[in-house]
Amino acid sequence: MTRRQLWQRFIVHLDRPLLLGICLLLLTSLLVLYSADNASWGQPLNQMLNIAVALTCMWLVANLPLHYLMRTAVPIYLLGMALLVGVALFGEISHGARRWLNLGVATIQPSELMKIGVPLMMAWYFEKHEATLTMKNYIVATLLLLVPVGLIARQPDLGTAILISASGFYVLFLAGLSWRVMGGLFVAALAGAPLIWSMLHDYQRLRIMMLFDPSQDALGKGYHTIQATIAVGSGGLLGKGYLKGTQTHLDFLPERTTDFIFAVYSEEFGLIGSLILLSLYFFVIARGFVITANASTYFTRLMAGSITLIFATYAFVNMGMVSGILPVVGVPLPLVSYGGTSMLTLLLGFGMLMSIETHKKLIKT
């Protein structure tokens, strides 16, 4: 085989437009991290390592034929459930919540695994029953979603529980859950809210209210929002310039390499920069939808659509929280925030998208 052929084989399962969008976002990540880490190479270098690992995994998944991908659904879901039960029973308590499981060699956060595991399982289930979909199947699929979500909400990790619920809802929606049922659920939720509210303890109500009104907790989480909003607003149209953000470099911004990295970016590159970043995200999301539209099977359609929508949701929730229109929940800015776990989860998802796109030709023939 010539070198050229080898190269061809290496890239045949990579979707080029998607890869381009991802790489541009990753470059942005390194650029902003360098600034957020006060012009030091410490975190950018570590992030490069995270990226290298995650890209390798993405490549492996992209090369995995679809029927293999489907076969992983049940084992991954069951493993995730086992780990979640393990956390509930033996998990380590940190910051008042039980989220981590110590396996001796490493501590892991199983809820992260379920971000992919749950939609994968639901898509697999719908594929199995594609020919004869009835209301019963939607109920079973909903249960597949609610059990892990319940376990995660109990940890308590409300943010992750809500995000996984969203991913599951996307699968249900794309699988064709009738409008009438969705409308009914919505009305039921609205009607049930006051009832649940009346059942909560005072301190629980306080917590929820604080979630929506950060100024109530001006020294705690509210402080983050106040400082981040100042950073974004003071960036203006053109930004203060790379490495010149005062909020960032005078130490006012908390968690500025992780959840609040968008405030750094926005302060230094302004509205123009924000527009560019939004366009990049939209480019990746749009490509995801194209892949979804072209997907050949029920399973892949559901999976591709769900992955794309989750990605969009994460981006929206993070930027919404940093700019002060959403409560502070711990969601990183996808592909940009510092951190290995979320990087890995996201790129695994993109690996699936690429596999869906590049293997369908083989199925058709």
Partner 1 sequence: MNKHVELKNHQREIYYFRLRLAISIGFVLVLLVILLARFAYLQVIRHDHYQTLAESNRISVVPIVPNRGLILDRNGLVLAHNYSGYTLEITPSKTAGLEDTINELSTLVEITPKDRKRFKKLLAERRNFETLMIRNRLSDEEVARFAAQQYRFPGVEIKARLFRDYPYGEKTAHLIGYIGRINQTDVTQLEENELTANYRGSDYIGKTGLEQSYESELHGTTGVEQVEVDSGGRAVRVLSRTPPSSGNTLVLSIDAKLQEIAEQSFGNYRGALVAIDPNNGEVLAFVSKPGYDPSLFIDGIDTQSWDELNNSPDTPLNNRALRGQYPPGSTIKPFMALAGLHYGERAPGLTINDPGYFTLPGSSHQYRDWKSGGHGSVDMFKSIVVSCDTYYYGLATDLGVDRIFNYLSRFGFGKKTGIDLDGETPGLLPSQDWKMRRYQQKWYAGDTVSVGIGQGYNLVTPMQLALATATLANNGIGYKPHLVREVRSVQIDENHAIRSESLADLRIAPAHIDLVKRAMVAVTQPGGTAVQAAAGAPYHIAGKTGTAQVVGMKQGEKYDASKISERHRDHAWFIAFAPAEQPGIALVVLAENGGHGGSTAAPIARKVLDYYLLGKVPQPLPDLADKEGEEHD
The binding site for partner 1 (CB under 8 A) comprises 94-96, 170, 173-174, 176, 217-220, 223, 226, 229-237, 246-247, 250-252, 266, 270-271, 274-275, 278, 281-282, 285-286, 289, 292-293, 298, 301, 305, 308-309, 312-313, 316, 319-320, 323-325
Closest approach, Cβ 194 to partner 1, in A, equals 27
Closest CB to partner 1 among residues 148, 245: 245
Q: Measured between alpha carbons, how far is residue 1 from residues 10, 11, 60, 341 in Å?
A: 12, 15, 21, 37
Rg of the chain taking only CA atoms, in angstroms: 21
Closest approach of partner 1 to the CB of residue 36, in Å: 16
* Cβ count near 289 (within 10 Å): 14
CA–CA distance, 360 with 157 (Å, rounded to integer)? 37
The Cα–Cα gap between 110 and 115 comes to 9
**Is 80 or 214 the residue whose CB approaches partner 1 more closely?**
214
- Tokens coding 187: 């009305």
Closer residue to partner 1 (CB): 27 or 218: 218
Give the Å distances, CA to CA, from 134 to 138, 178, 203, 303: 7, 11, 42, 20
- Contact call for residues 254 and 260 (beta carbons, < 8 A): yes
DSSP state of 134: -
At 282, phi and psi to the nearest 5? -65, -35
Q: Nearer Cβ to partner 1, position 30 or 210?
A: 210
Burial class of residue 330 in the structure, from the number of CB atoms within 10 Å of its CB (0-12 exposed, 13-18 middle, 19+ buried): middle
Task: Select 79 or 226, whichever has its Cβ closest to partner 1.
Answer: 226
**Quick check: helix, strand or coil at residue 94?**
strand
Looking at beta carbons only, is 76 or 163 nearer to partner 1? 163
Smaller CB separation from partner 1, 218 or 362? 218
